[in-house]
Structure 1
Amino acid sequence: MVPDFLLPEWVPNAHPLIVHFPIALIFVSLAADALALWLGDQWETGREVATGLYAATGLSAVVSYYSGTWAIDTVPIVTPGAAQTLSTHSFWAWYTMASTSGYALLRTAGLFVSRVRARRSAHLVLFVLGLGTLYPMYETGENGGAMVYKRGVGVTRIQEVPPSSSPAQDSTRRDTVQAAEPTPRTGAP
């Protein structure tokens, strides 16, 4: 758990700061893996680099998942819709953590099995399995975004609009910005 004094005042907990690491890392991992697959023997350490990135993705998914479980206690869940979205988000977050971590272990084990290392077809199969980790991450992010942007979980109003200081102004009147009227054209372009 991250102490409050280490967090900026605008963030309710560390989860929003941590959650973006596995999202970014999965795309970097897949890009490195695609490049390693495409280049083949021209990039001798390509599989190892991709596997290391997948391991970092799996570890960051674990940290992200647990930061989310700790974050639940720091934000109010006041509507049944928010509670349902949180439950769905939590399920997909666990599934994302399990799938990315499991995949990282599979890739790491594949480095030590000579039959897997020697075959490009095995690398292609592993790459396709890696693509499968995108779906649970997508669902996790989709439900996390819905919690914040649709349900308002973890969002606080930071700045209030100050009341009008002029007593002559009607408090129900709203100032609006109006578009400038077009000027009439005189002459040819």
Structure 2
Amino acid sequence: MDLLPEWAPNVHPLLVHFPIALLCTAVLLDAAGLALRTAPFWRRAATVLFVLGAAGAVAAFFTGRAAADSVLPPAAANPVLTEHADLALWTVWFFGIYAVVRLVAHRFDRTATPAVAWALFLVGAGGLVLLYETGEHGAELVFAHGVGVRAAAEPAAPLVLSADTTAGPVPTEDGGWAWKPARAAAWKARFAWPEGPPEALRSALVDGGPRGDVLALEAASGPVTFLYERPLGSLQADLAVHLDGFSGAFRFVHHWQDAQNHHFVALEDGRIRQGRVAGGAEEVMDEAPLASSGWLALRVVADGTHFRAYANGRLVVHGHGPAPSPGPAGLRLDGTGTVLLDHLTVQNLHPTPDADHHP
């Protein structure tokens, strides 16, 4: 018997209200305990609810993490999702430690001491600020961005890019860039080439079927890396590639500092790996099997300490690591055969009013 209602995308929205109610009620009972000092029942009841609320927060956190991994949020929702996840983790730690402190205070019969009682009340009440911020970000995900909402299916809007993007990538208003190749080689002048000269990468336009003309890339001698020199902090990249005719490692690289320091999402040998190169040493944050055939819609999100990659609308890897310094993004090929590229767009997840004026 499936206990999850058909309308619910996951169990998180069913659980999340319990810790909110339990922790808010616990603070109210703690206030009653201060007003009625001769009645220890209120303080004991508050402690029980704080413990239950902390346990509920743990359950909400893990179901929320699973829920976040089951959806494909729009670019504007990614920063909110990252902040919601971080706030939820801090809330779990806060109330988990606080519940333990309350239990210890009760064990040694210290909650009746006025100074201790007031301190416990003020700290617990202060924790509601964290709880509120976490819930507010979760509500924004649902009501402002529609994350996790089952709406009537709508056909996906076709990718529409400016004609200027055909000769090479062009800056976008959010501080990112967009590229829909329609020239065989003119685009090379708009990229930087930190690994391998432009001549090391053969390129041609070929028939991509329903996609029209697409760019065929073949490394004459690898590795070859090309970047659009527009440094970004938090980003979302969307690209469509066809790797059936390529043998080797294909990477989307981002936050590039140099060949010894950058982040990447790599497709190689039927696997996808997400990680970084730091001081020349490669560190894999997450990896998973990825059996792909035909065109692959790849989305890469790097926001603060959260790194996610989606394949054809499904999350496949989700890693965590130190927030990188801003840097440019691009592609790296190391192998033989041909990669087909339909488009590549990189969005700035935290645009500033003057983002489009970046050189």
**TM-score, structure 1 as length reference:** 0.76
Match of 1:156 in 2: 150
CA displacement, residues 64-99 of structure 1 (integer Å, 9 cap, x when unaligned): 00110111232222x222111110000001111111
Letter paired with 2:30: D
Give the Cα separation in 2 of the matches to 1:110 and 1:62.
22
For residues 107-186 of structure 1, what are the structure 2 equivalents within 5 Å? Answer: 107-114=102-109, 116-157=110-151
Give the Cα separation in 2 of the matches to 1:44 and 1:129.
19
For residues 47-126 of structure 1, what are the structure 2 equivalents within 5 Å? Answer: 47-77=43-73, 79-114=74-109, 116-126=110-120
Q: Detail structure 1 runs of 4+ shifted over 2 Å in the superposition.
A: none
3-state SS, counterpart of residue 154 of structure 1: coil
Match of 1:166 in 2: none
3-state SS, counterpart of residue 37 of structure 2: helix
Match of 2:323 in 1: none
Give the Cα separation in 1 of the matches to 2:129 and 2:93.
13
3-state SS, counterpart of residue 134 of structure 1: helix
Give the Cα separation in 1 of the matches to 2:121 and 2:25.
13
Is contact 1:10-1:158 (8 Å) kept? no
Match of 2:5 in 1: 8
How far has the Cα of 1:159 moved from its partner? 9.4
3-state SS, counterpart of residue 133 of structure 1: helix
Give yes or no for the alignment of 1:30 onto 2:24: no
Structure of greater relative contact order (alpha carbons < 8 Å, 6+ residues apart)? 1
Give the Cα separation in 1 of the matches to 2:112 and 2:94.
25
How far has the Cα of 1:26 moved from its partner? 1.1
Give the Cα separation in 1 of the matches to 2:26 and 2:33.
10
How far has the Cα of 1:27 moved from its partner? 1.2
Give the Cα separation in 2 of the matches to 1:47 and 1:74.
40
Unaligned runs of 5+ in 1: 161-189
3-state SS, counterpart of residue 148 of structure 1: helix
* Matched-pair identity in %: 37
CA displacement, residues 25-77 of structure 1 (integer Å, 9 cap, x when unaligned): 11110111111111011x13222111111001100000000110111232222
Letter paired with 1:66: F
3-state SS, counterpart of residue 93 of structure 2: helix
Give the Cα separation in 2 of the matches to 1:33 and 1:87.
32
3-state SS, counterpart of residue 147 of structure 2: coil
State how many pairs are aligned. 154
Give the Cα separation in 1 of the matches to 2:57 and 2:37.
28
3-state SS, counterpart of residue 10 of structure 1: coil
Match of 2:42 in 1: 46
Give the Cα separation in 1 of the matches to 2:84 and 2:111.
36
Is contact 1:75-1:154 (8 Å) kept? yes
The alignment yields a C-alpha RMSD, in angstroms, of 1.8
Match of 2:278 in 1: none
Letter paired with 1:132: G
Unaligned runs of 5+ in 2: 155-359
3-state SS, counterpart of residue 151 of structure 2: coil
CA displacement, residues 86-143 of structure 1 (integer Å, 9 cap, x when unaligned): 10000001111111111111111111224x2341221011100111110111110111
**TM-score, structure 2 as length reference:** 0.41
Is contact 1:110-1:117 (8 Å) kept? yes
Higher helix share: 1
Letter paired with 2:148: G
3-state SS, counterpart of residue 76 of structure 1: coil
Higher strand share: 2
